[in-house]
Amino acid sequence: MAAKKIAITVKVWRQTDQKVKGSLETYSLSDISTDMSFLEMLDVLNDQLTMEGKEPVAFDHDCREGICGTCGAVVDGVAHGPERETTLCQLHMRHFDNGQTICIEPFRAKAFPIIRDLIVDRSAFDRIIAAGGFVSVNAGSAQDGNNTLVAQHRAEQAMDAAACIGCGACVAACPNAAAMLFVSAKISQLALLPQGHAERKMRAQAMVTIMDNEGFGNCGNERECENVCPKGISIRNIARLNREYLRATLAANE
């Protein structure tokens, strides 16, 4: 399909920092190529604002190929916008119509304080991983790689969970601002692989404790998280997280 030019109106959340109140500002853009990515549209908006002497919109982004997990915003009420399994940077303007008004807001959650405009602080995710999202092995102490056999379907399941990019869309979409899809993805990856078994109980307890302390809510089975996940992480992982947590809290220590 040949590229077209469209004119759009964007309503963007503007907020200087955590201390001040934010609001939606309206801007008009003409000559937006339908081949542009959503972030390239924001680049064009920012150059326009700059040359008008206004403050450009602050937004996080880096790889622009859907893998680093840095970008993200709520577009017309949907985290990462209307395309399924697509990060904001991989969303293209051909999915919008000429004359359309698009509302762009940050990922909102108590545990993700707004830093500026569309940028939020997701460092709570790092603290959850630090609590137990690892295998305790020092460099140099590993045995030969093929001494640990992993059934192919297990490795594939672990990879399905490990594909999480830590973008935080799951939290933004959840009515409870729960981080359970994120936490369960890491718990599942390491519960499915033999390498993770030694620390299984500690991991489930520690990660869930920090998750609660950081102010994330609980899963209410709304499935909004899996609907917006750009990597298609399934809520089956949350079921596995619940089993792992139960096992960790109920079963006796051997």
Partner 1 sequence: MQLDAKIPQGDLAGKWDNCRFDNKLVNPANKRKFDVIVVGTGLAGASAAASMAELGYNVKSFCIQDSPRRAHSIAAQGGINAAKNYQNDGDSVFRLFYDTIKGGDFRAREANVYRLAQVSNNIMDHCVAQGIPFAREYGGTLANRSFGGAQVSRTFYARGQTGQQLLLGAYSSLMRQVAAGKVTIFPRREMMDLVVIDGKARGIIVRNLITGRLERYSANAVVLATGGYGNVFYLSTNAMACNVTAAWRAYKRGAGFANPCFVQIHPTCIPVHGDYQSKLTLMSESLRNDGRVWVPKQQGDTRNPADIPEQDRDYFLERKYPSFGNLVPRDVASRNAKEVCDEGKGVGETRLAVYLDFQEAINRDGLDLILKKYGNLFQMYEKITDADPSKEPMMIYPAIHYTMGGLWVDYQLQSTIDGLFVIGEANFSDHGANRLGASALMQGLADGYFILPYTIGNYLAQAGFDKQPVDDPAFNLVEEEVNERITGLLKNRDHNKAGTQPVDYYHRKLGAVVWDHCGMSRDKAGLTKALAKIPEIREEFYENVYIPGTGQELNQSLERAGRVADFLEFAEVMVLDALEREESCGCHLREESQTEEHEAKRDDDHYSHVAVWEYKGKNEQPALHKEPLRFENVTPSQRSYK
Q: Any contact of residue 144 with partner 1 (CB under 8 A)? A: yes
Q: Any contact of residue 205 with partner 1 (CB under 8 A)? A: no
User: Is 40:31 a contact under the CB 8 Å cutoff?
Assistant: no
Q: How far apart (Å, rounded) are the C-alpha atoms in residues 56 and 45?
A: 8
Taking the complex as a whole, the smallest distance from the CB of residue 217 to partner 1 amounts, in Å, to 21
Question: In the range 153-182, which residues lie near partner 1 by CB under 8 A?
Answer: 154-156, 158-159, 162-163, 165-166
Among 130, 202, 209, 249, binds partner 1 (CB under 8 A): 130
Q: Any contact of residue 92 with partner 1 (CB under 8 A)? A: yes
Tokens of 103: 């509302």
Q: Any contact of residue 139 with partner 1 (CB under 8 A)? A: yes
Write each residue from 21 to 40 as x if it is in contact with partner 1 (CB under 8 A), else as -, in one continuous string. ------------x-xxx-xx
Which residue number, 24 or 130, has a Cβ lying nearer to partner 1?
130
Neighbour tally for 226: CB within 10 Å: 17
Q: Any contact of residue 67 with partner 1 (CB under 8 A)? A: yes
Distance of CA 25 to CAs 10, 61, 103, 134, Å? 8, 21, 10, 42
Taking the complex as a whole, the smallest distance from the CB of residue 56 to partner 1 amounts, in Å, to 6
Question: In the range 47-66, which residues lie near partner 1 by CB under 8 A?
Answer: 47, 49-56, 58, 60-65
Q: Any contact of residue 97 with partner 1 (CB under 8 A)? A: no
Q: Any contact of residue 251 with partner 1 (CB under 8 A)? A: no
The angle subtended at Cα 112 by Cα 209 and Cα 221, nearest 5°, is 60
Residue 79's SS3 state is strand
Q: Is 56 exposed, middle or buried (0-12, 13-18, 19+ CB in 10 A)?
A: middle
Q: How many residues bind partner 1 (CB under 8 A)?
A: 81
Q: Any contact of residue 230 with partner 1 (CB under 8 A)? A: no
Among 8, 131, 171, 173, binds partner 1 (CB under 8 A): 131
Q: How far apart (Å, rounded) are the C-alpha atoms in residues 197 and 173?
A: 31
User: Is 52:44 a contact under the CB 8 Å cutoff?
Assistant: no
Closest CA to 69 of 94, 92, 87: 87
Q: Any contact of residue 103 with partner 1 (CB under 8 A)? A: no
